[in-house]
Amino acid sequence: MGNKQTTFRDEQFEAYQDCTFFTRKEILRLHGRYRELAPHLVPLDYTNDPDIKLPLTLLINMPELKENPFRDRIVQTFSEDGQGNLSFNDFVDMFSALCESSSRELKTIYAFKIYDFNRDNFICKEDMEKTINKLTKGELTPEEVTLVCDKAIEEADLDGDSKLSFADFENMISKAPDFLSTFHVRI
Amino acid sequence: MTSQLQRQGSAAAVQGTGYTGDQGLPRLRRAPSSQSYQNGPQFNWSPASAGREKAEEGAVEPPKSLRSLPIPMALKRAICQVQQMHVPVLSSLQSWKRSKAKSLSRVRSYIGGFLNYITLWRKSLNKIGGNFGGGVQSYFLFLRFLVVLNFLSFMLIAGFVLIPSIVFRSVASGPMNITGPAECLQYDPNPQGLVKFHNYFLDLLTGTGFMESSYLFYGYYNNTMVAGSDFSYNIPLAYLFTAIFYFAFCLLCITARMGTAFRVAVATGGGAIGSYSRIVFTGWDFGCLGDRAMKLKQKNIIYQLQVDLEEERIKNKAATLTLGQKIFLYSLRIFLSLVAFGLIIAAFFSIFAATNFSQGKTGEVGVLGLFFEYLPSIVITAGNFVVPLLCDQIALLERYDPSITVIVALLRSVFLRMVSLSVLLFTLWNQITCKQRVSAEDCTLCHYNYKSYPCWETRVGQEMYKLALFDLIITIAMLVLVEFPRRMVVDGSSSKLAQWVGRQEFQVPANVLGLVYGQTVVWTGALFCPLLPVINTLKFVIVFYCKKITLFYNCRPATKTFRSTWATAFFLLVLLFGWSLGLLVLIYSMAQIHPSMSCGPFRSLISMWTIVPNSFYNLSQTSQDFLFYLGSQRFSIPLFLFFSVVMCYFIALASVHGKSVNLLKTQLKLEARDKQFLVKQIEELSRTLGVAR
């Protein structure tokens, strides 16, 4: 039906391929997914880099994120304003960091940011308790939650300040063999 | 807008601190405390600036390091543009190198995309991983690896043995004449007289009749040695070397794949420590899809945490056991291990008896004959099913830790499967070489039991063929007769018993052992049944689709996870055990037993290996001298010394790395204490200054 409308210019494709772990085809597919979240908001033609952001409520209903207990935190971490509004750049950035070929260091950095609920660059006891409650949806008793929390911090804390800094977190993650395969969203 | 981002980019580069610094970066963080921003995930801005410097020197670093930077996309693109706008002063050689490297990386990404496209079953595996997790996916990845391995082996065998045999059979004269006692040379597998139609079907299942005189089995190949003016092809030599290279090729593939798996397992230190933090932070599979899978994943994590807490309680209790209770526990464990061992020995004895019985009853016709033919396979399969069940119950009684129980049960199953196959082979060999018959004169004439086995290699090949086929039949039968009805009963009825039994779980270890057993059968039988790899390829493809169907329709996701990284390495190790069993069979057949005089490519030789020395002396003198030199001490001793030196180097390197890792860990702890001390001092100073003011 008429001419094939181009979504991106070639320079844009090259820039995306250099800055993310995706190929050309995958970037087009991501654009399709981004567009189908709000077809009336997101234009097909992205050659002029339009400044469009989708709100948090639309993004956490994506099938890949819908069942994830940390979906709010993931979207907030990758948004520029910290409130969860993602532009297409941020959208691609998010899935690139979480994809299969992403590097371990990158994933560790973002995992730390996701689990740090109060954004003070430490995973303290409250952050841990929130994480465990989100994971288990209240199936564990509060005493069990506190016990698990204390044990986890005790295992990972190296510098003895009873909260996890990034160095502690990174050290703990380096010993977890499944981290790369679990911290991975398939899109 | 671009120029503004440019300025921000260069401003941040100049700053050179952690990205949580607040000026000039578009990602705002509300009020980072001055103390804590040093703890934020630091990344070095210097790769970006170093990339720019390196670009001036002509290297091509920027694209790779950009991807791994944890900064927002808009900033990354800005940096990209800045780097492109930086026109470095390069010589023509350097710019040529840069452009070549860039096009090479583009080509590599295209090839990667193409390989991704043609990878077998990629979408199915993604779907399985999304719905059932990494443990189940690792089983299917292992299955795919075996399919590809078998297919490539078949290409090898077809190219060097099968196709030349077909070509030379139609071209060359007949098999070479051989001398020997007349009784040893009698062998006619073709069925005599009128053959009933249903016999064709029975022959398909047992490999006799029309299948015996086909390229499927060893007996049909001739010992043609074509020697033209400029072309010669020695079929027996090709057959032998193809078998050896097939084993070497499989070993190469397995060790290559094991290398990656073990590297990950060793680097993470086995994951023994930090189980709570590991579960909390890496337990949730972010790729999990589906509402049902999500609920089960949650139950999984809760179960794991509760199991860990329970183990902790048990350990605390175990530490308080009295001496008498400890003695009781250990003697109970020894007794139950002996019971398990006794069960396994009983299984072996029944396989031995069944094989002897079946070999004695050859020649029966009809369905009863089919039953007797398949008796060893039936007994092996029954043993492989019953004994692990009993061993699991015994392991529960032994009251080990839950993780040790799994490992103990797994090791027992592996032992059972591998050794039951070797018992079968051992009984066959005994009969072929009359080790335990009363009338040993059966073997004196031809050096093997020519009365019962006119062409013993084909018989061994037929046994392996039957084992492989029976395995496939059992898999399909289990799917149709056990798994589907179970699901229909559980879903249909609402009785308490049905709900308690529940839908089945996909047992990864048991299924993987089944695959390893199937592959071991192929390896032991490949010398005698050259087309067994292609039969196995088809069989594994059918198994893939059967298991996929049963997974999606009949199974529920496991409540206990199966750690996939450790698992892959373990599966490959078990596969290597199977490979060494096949190698043992190959070596013994090639070197010890006299080949049949009435069939096969080695019919005129004392042992299969003697073809190599015989053909060796046909080579030119220089080649002979060269090969003699390679085998002499003058070459092998310096080679051995060289390899010892290289190995010492690697061992020393590994220990140095280990020591430096430990050193860095202690440094990390000391740094943190220093930082705390300094922070305390700052607070004290500010307090005294504040008070003084």
List the domain boundaries for chain B: 2-118, 122-618, 624-693
**pLDDT higher than 90, residue B293:** no
Average the pLDDT over B97-122 and give the result: 80
Chain A, 79 to 98: residues with Cβ < 8 Å from chain B are 80-82, 87, 89-90, 92-93, 96-98
The tens digit of pLDDT for each residue in B657-672 reads 989 988 987 887 788 7
Confidence of residue B64 (pLDDT cuts 50, 70, 90): low
Identify the residue with better confidence: B273 or B194. Answer: B194
**pLDDT higher than 50, residue B51:** no
Q: How far is CA A16 from CA A21, A186, B43, B83, B348, in A?
A: 8, 19, 21, 15, 62
Chain A, 13 to 42: residues with Cβ < 8 Å from chain B are 15, 17-21, 23, 25
Give B488-555 as a DSSP string.
Answer: HHHHH---HHHHHH-SEE--HHHHHHHHHHHHHHHHHHTTT-TTHHHHHHHHHHHHHHHHHHHHHHHE
Q: Does B285 touch chain A (CB under 8 A)?
A: yes
**pLDDT higher than 70, residue B515:** yes
**Contact at CB, A109 and B134, closer than 8 angstroms:** no
The amino acid present at B345, given as its one-letter code, is I
Q: What is the pLDDT of residue B17?
A: 36
The tens digit of pLDDT for each residue in B543-552 reads 999 999 888 8
Give the distance from residue B490's alpha carbon to the nearest chain A alpha carbon, in angstroms: 26
Confidence of residue B504 (pLDDT cuts 50, 70, 90): confident
Cα separation, B79 vs B74, whole angstroms? 9
Q: At which residue do the structure tokens 């798994």 appear?
A: B483
Chain B, 118 to 147: residues with Cβ < 8 Å from chain A are 126, 129-130, 134
Q: Tell me which chain B residue has its CA closest to the CA of residue A183.
A: B286
Pairing relation of β-strands B504-505 and B555-556?
Answer: parallel
**Contact at CB, B268 and A69, closer than 8 angstroms:** no
Using a CB-CB distance cutoff of 8 angstroms, which residues of chain B are in contact with residue A105? Answer: 68
- pLDDT by 10s per residue, chain A, length 187: 444 567 888 888 888 888 888 888 888 888 888 888 888 888 888 888 888 888 888 888 888 888 888 889 999 988 888 888 888 888 998 999 888 888 888 899 999 999 999 888 888 899 988 988 888 877 778 888 888 888 888 888 877 778 888 888 888 888 777 788 788 887 7
Pick from B601, B588, B597, B220: nearest CA to B446: B597
**Contact at CB, B278 and A148, closer than 8 angstroms:** no
Q: What is the pLDDT of residue B38?
A: 41
Cα separation, A21 vs A12, whole angstroms? 14
Mean pLDDT, all residues of chain B: 77
Per the CB < 8 A criterion, the answer to whether B533 and B518 are in contact is: no
Facing B29 at nearest CB: one of A109, A119, A148: A119
Facing A186 at nearest CB: one of B66, B130, B565: B130
Confidence of residue B10 (pLDDT cuts 50, 70, 90): very low
**pLDDT higher than 50, residue B441:** yes
Facing B40 at nearest CB: one of A87, A92, A121: A121
**Contact at CB, A89 and B74, closer than 8 angstroms:** yes
Identify the residue with better confidence: B664 or B500. Answer: B664
Identify the residue with better confidence: A107 or B48. Answer: A107
Using a CB-CB distance cutoff of 8 angstroms, which residues of chain B are in contact with residue A113? Answer: 41
Confidence of residue B348 (pLDDT cuts 50, 70, 90): confident
Measured in whole angstroms, the distance separating CA B191 from the mean position of its chain's CA atoms is 41
- The ipTM value here is 0.82
Choose from B4, B22, B34, B67 for mutation: most chain A CBs within 10 A. Answer: B67
Q: Does A143 touch chain B (CB under 8 A)?
A: no
Give the distance from residue A2's alpha carbon to the nearest chain B alpha carbon, in angstroms: 29
Q: What is the pLDDT of residue B543?
A: 94
Give the distance from residue B312's alpha carbon to the nearest chain A alpha carbon, in angstroms: 11
Give the distance from residue B18's alpha carbon to the nearest chain A alpha carbon, in angstroms: 12
Average the pLDDT over B111-139 and give the result: 77
The tens digit of pLDDT for each residue in B449-484 reads 777 778 888 888 988 998 899 889 988 998 888 888
DSSP B225: E
The tens digit of pLDDT for each residue in B618-647 reads 878 888 888 888 888 888 899 999 999 999
Give the distance from residue A52's alpha carbon to the nearest chain B alpha carbon, in angstroms: 13
Facing A80 at nearest CB: one of B26, B33, B285: B26
| Backbone CA torsion sign across B670, B676, B682, B684 | negative
**pLDDT higher than 80, residue B295:** no
Q: What is the pLDDT of residue B30?
A: 35
Q: What is the pTM of this model?
A: 0.73
- Residue B282, token pair as written in the block: 């890496």
**Contact at CB, A64 and B265, closer than 8 angstroms:** no
